[in-house]
Structure 1
Amino acid sequence: MHQLAYLSVMAKAEKKSGRPVYKTFKSFFNYEEAIRKVLDEPKKTESRFASLGKYLKERGE
């Protein structure tokens, strides 16, 4: 419940000038982008030892 209260306060946040921080809910939380992040496979990054692994596989060790 505390998370819901915190997010509610953040969504209604205002700048010092009195203007809202988030003009629309989409600028506060982009649902489509969150779904895309969950469904996409994580990008594999080449590790430091990837070339070493390839070398050892070629040699059969």
Structure 2
Amino acid sequence: MRYSPHKHVWVRTWAGDDDIELVFLPDDGAWLNWIEAEFAALRYFVLNGRTSPSTH
């Protein structure tokens, strides 16, 4: 079982009280998360044309 504090009843109650909708992505759905695309673009920009063992 994974640690999921965002699914705790207290967090769900807090979110509901403040009209916040929690959206749960599948564990293997990183491509659905917009921030992943932002990080990919940043990584490309920063590492453009560079080769090192840490970028492989």
The TM-score with structure 2 as length reference comes to: 0.32
Greater RCO structure (CA 8 Å; 6+ sep): 1
Per the normalisation by structure 1, the TM-score is 0.31
Larger radius of gyration: 1
